[in-house]
Amino acid sequence: MKKLLMIAAIFSLTFATAFAQRENPRKMPSSEERAEKSAERLAERLELTEAQKKQVYELNLQTAEARKAQMEARRNELKQNREAHKTQMEAILSPEQVEKWNELREENRKRGAEMRKGNEERRKQFRKGGPHKKGSRHDGPRASHRERS
């Protein structure tokens, strides 16, 4: 009985921890934070003066802001293209075909979400030093070649 209660408690704690981790997704740093961190690393490694460090920060910030604007413009362009494609497809298809097509699209969205979830699990595994440890089947022929040199 005690063992059963202990197993249930461990299972509950494990489940609660996993659920809590999902509730707190990683926060993406702002452009300013990334620029500051990058400038700090370079200042340390390259022994930058304070003036150089400030210039590097400003350059990194400008680059990050420009990249952000480009990404937003690209996102808008893609959205417009999707909408135009959808409108053109609906003009080509019959109402019954449009209904089936929408169902197919929804199935594909769900399948894609499942695949992304699986990819996330694989990334976590690799971050933890998963299958690519020395001696795994993923080392491949080049791994043995590097060891010989």
Residuewise pLDDT in 10s, the chain (149 residues):
677 666 766 766 666 666 555 555 668 888 888 889 999 999 999 999 999 999 999 999 999 999 999 999 999 999 999 999 999 999 999 999 999 999 999 999 998 888 888 777 777 766 666 555 555 555 455 544 444 44
Q: Which residue has the tokens 């053109």?
A: 88
Sequence-distant (6+) residues with CB within 8 A of 95 are: none
Q: Tokens standing for 78? A: 């893609």
Domain for residue 123, yes or no?
Answer: yes
Distance CA 31, CA 10 (A): 41
Same domain, 66 and 76: yes
Domain for residue 17, yes or no?
Answer: no
Per the CB < 8 A criterion, the answer to whether 7 and 37 are in contact is no
- pTM for the model stands at 0.50
Distance CA 128, CA 39 (A): 28
Same domain, 88 and 34: yes
